[in-house]
A and B are shown apart, each in its own frame.
Chain A
């Protein structure tokens, strides 16, 4: 017997603490208690550049163990593109090879030269308006902010921030190219659904900072990743509308600065999140993250057809399993849908929202 359901956090005015850390040791560049903005770098580390393996012994036609006689720079030496690396004089000719890029002669190994390009910087940005709550030694920080928190179900792997701009009036409406005008610049566009890449390209060309939709067809996933604009999906794949409570909350938050967090890159990955920092009157609290059981009165989202994506309220919870049309026998709850219809849904297909 399984009487638990999924849980999705949609909360207003809560304390939110999120870790922003590098995947490797580096330098923290903000102070404890310092206010930060989304684009602000909080930690950085050097990132090794691309490398070249030059089969030196093969190029000069000499035994591997003799190659060091012909190498013109020392291991560890910084070199510029075009610097002579190898020279072998013959009776009538001279063979010479040059560095293909700026970098460091990393190693001479087994007759090969390994040249590593000049390192880049790996930077971790705050991606939130907030304050540095604590430091994660050598890695990054935990940032605290107060505001609204919405858990999404999928994101394209990119993060961003910008003002929320509602592109449609209803949670089932599609984002269309002709809705995107100059107001999209710097904004995060919110719509019920997305069904083509053209509209996403237009959003990117119009300098939008991201897109939040209820659903996208799974066939678009690889195209969305290629376009590179942060796309956050709140409900699922296919043509599901955005859950009404979530759409209503985003409507209320229009024009506020929202932050889109991927959360997948850390050691303990979490779901993608939409965070909207807000000035809060009174004392905000940390969200209740305990494991909840379905209870009468709770708002739920249904995860499976024929009611997939619909939101309702629990009217009765059952501990005993009941028979479904397909013969499965599972415990569940009666849910009152928006149109007043009451349907029995297994707990496993419910997502508690709130």
Chain B
């Protein structure tokens, strides 16, 4: 879209993203009539000791941006210059997103694990929150043990769900009584806030029971019927509590608020917002994946709804200490193309937790970090799929999607595109046909932060190529009969001419397509093979080139742990997959 006719409204924007480890600032301004990313820079986040001042890290990142772009943005005293001055210094608007705060801690209370508990968890995962415990009908602990858990874990909030509308379930009231006793046994200043998001017919009884004990917040029932959830009101209240308890605690926040033209946005919400925007733009299902040092985020958006899973227990930094348990370590080792000692792996996880900003310097450690990333993403996506009811589809796969957007240093800064694609395919194990793009410059939360106030900015910045296209992927479901090919492919390309090929089962095929190149491909699968249009049905796709071109993954789903009838070891198998991908 052109910026002509809007010039008098055009403003420059400086947007910060304050993560737990790194603070990034991005400067957007108008060039040739449209918004462009002028530059971005980062510095350590300084919310914690010894600095205890969030603003100090933002200033350092801005100072670095000035060194890179030559544009002065701060006064000698460290104040932001606003608006843009005649000499070109300064910026018109400042805003920021934030994930530097501690997560909100919560205990969930609900009746059925697959029903109200799942809905409560979905609401909780819309913010940076850690689920410390949950009580439900399947809980085998007695009341004293549940109360003891509350007293030991000291959650910030208790989120109570349970009871479909119209029911008068005494079992919900019994669980609330347990919460009431547990809260009453704590000092007043340490009692959790209770968010009641259950059967509305029990609201008044809940308020009567808890009113003298702990602050109560009432949300609409997160599970009004067995087959439908309604989590938005609970999400709103949880968001407010997160802002109140965690964001406002951050030292140095006040200084940033004084600079900011808009209220701060949690980075996960900003990322979710931009994925929602992309889903609306493409009129299709878009997935977003962000693997950070202190949290992992998975977003699913289509034109009708957005789902967000924020997991502060999964990340490439401090959460890794908790990952050093047997099954996770087995999973990590299974994605290595070499053998590794289990204790060396445990030490690596612990050291990475201490120094999350460090980067691997050897090929082996690079593969190790990428294996860790696969396991974290797999857990994130599998848990989200279970919570979102995606495992209900017969094949147990992710539902079809059009576009996958990825961010997070391990994913976006891998040296070779094949490494990025390998991590994504191994961890998500998606099916169908889709494209993958990378937030290489780390600006999506910034775009999400500003989208509500300057909607044209993300449109123009994205149009200008802010996302790097990694490639298009085709993953068939089902295997052909022995000794037969999975599918035939016909490619009509203006630059390279027409091409026909057949694809073998149980492998990876790459068809390089340069960035900017556009081809039409026709995929004719075997009768038993489904490309998303039904078994044996042909698909025709128009695809654009990228760092990887076209990737066809016929390894099967789930990806087999070993190759039947072969003596190839698991590490050799992983090695051959990496080689196939040019990783």
Contacts and interface: CB of A to CB of B under 8 A. Distances in A.
A281 B324 CA distance: 48
A32 B324 CA distance: 46
B251 A289 contact: no
A268 B362 contact: no
A165 B339 CA distance: 40
B238 interface: no
B177 A6 contact: no
Given A237-B354, A291-B51, 15 more contacts: A2-B22, A4-B43, A24-B190, A51-B185, A52-B144, A53-B144, A53-B181, A153-B354, A154-B354, A217-B347, A218-B343, A291-B46, A304-B365, A305-B362, A308-B351
Interface string B550-575: 00000000000000000000000000
Contacts of B68: 1
A116 interface: yes
B185 A306 contact: no
B329 to A, nearest CB: 11
B343 A327 contact: no
B354 A348 contact: no
B355 interface: yes
Contact of A328 (B42, B144, B184, B360): B360
Contact of A1 (B41, B181, B187): B41
A107 B357 CA distance: 51
Contacts of A2: 22, 42-43, 357
Interface of A: 1-4, 6-7, 9, 24-25, 48, 51-53, 55, 106-107, 109-110, 112, 114, 116, 153-154, 217-219, 221, 236-238, 263, 267-271, 287, 289-291, 303-306, 308, 324-330, 345-346, 348-349, 351
Contacts of B177: 109-110
Contact of A291 (B60, B147, B358): B60
A304 to B, nearest CB: 5
A-B pairs, top 5 by smallest CB distance, nearest first, are A327-B415, A270-B49, A238-B347, A218-B350, A237-B350
B49 A271 contact: yes
B249 interface: yes
B511 to A, nearest CB: 23
19 contacts: A3-B64, A7-B50, A25-B189, A51-B185, A114-B181, A114-B184, A221-B350, A237-B346, A237-B351, A263-B49, A269-B48, A291-B57, A304-B359, A304-B361, A325-B362, A327-B415, A328-B359, A328-B366, A346-B361
Contact of A326 (B46, B249, B361): B361
Contacts of A219: 343, 346
Contacts of B362: 305-306, 325-326
Interface in B53-86: 56-57, 60, 64, 68
Contacts of A268: 48-49, 52, 251
A238 B181 contact: no
Contacts of A52: 144
Interface residues of B, number: 53
B498 to A, nearest CB: 34
A4 B415 contact: no
Contacts of A324: 361
A107 B181 contact: yes
A9 B51 CA distance: 12
B17 interface: no
Nearest to A107: B184
Interface string B199-226: 0000000000000000000000000000
A48 B344 CA distance: 43
B538 interface: no
Contacts of B52: 268
B357 to A, nearest CB: 5
B143 interface: yes
Contacts of A116: 185
A328 B359 CA distance: 9
A267 B189 CA distance: 14
A349 B43 contact: no
Interface string B162-178: 00000000000000010
A304 B360 contact: yes
Given A4-B60, A237-B347, A48 B186 contact: yes
B180 interface: yes
A303 B22 contact: no
Interface string B340-352: 0001101101110
Contacts of A55: 143
Nearest to A288: B50
A270 B48 contact: yes
Nearest to B419: A327
Contacts of A4: 43-44, 60
B147 A53 contact: yes
A110 B176 CA distance: 11
A348 B41 CA distance: 14
Nearest to B186: A48
B49 A269 contact: yes
A43 to B, nearest CB: 15
B116 to A, nearest CB: 22
Given A24-B190, A268-B52, A327 B359 contact: no
B416 interface: yes
A270 B359 contact: no
Contacts of A3: 64
B501 to A, nearest CB: 29
Contact of A349 (B57, B143, B180, B358): B358
B537 interface: no
Nearest to A266: B49
Contacts of A271: 49
Contacts of A305: 361-362, 365
A9 B49 CA distance: 11
Contacts of B415: 326-329
Contact of A109 (B43, B48, B180, B186): B180
Contacts of B180: 109
B347 A218 contact: yes
A195 B325 CA distance: 20
A217 B345 CA distance: 11
B413 interface: yes
A329 B413 CA distance: 9
Nearest to B40: A1
Contact of A48 (B187, B343, B365): B187
A348 B347 contact: no
B363 interface: yes
Nearest to A302: B361
Interface in B139-157: 143-144, 147, 151
Nearest to A328: B415
B49 A48 contact: no
A281 B151 CA distance: 49
B324 A325 contact: no
A238 B344 contact: yes
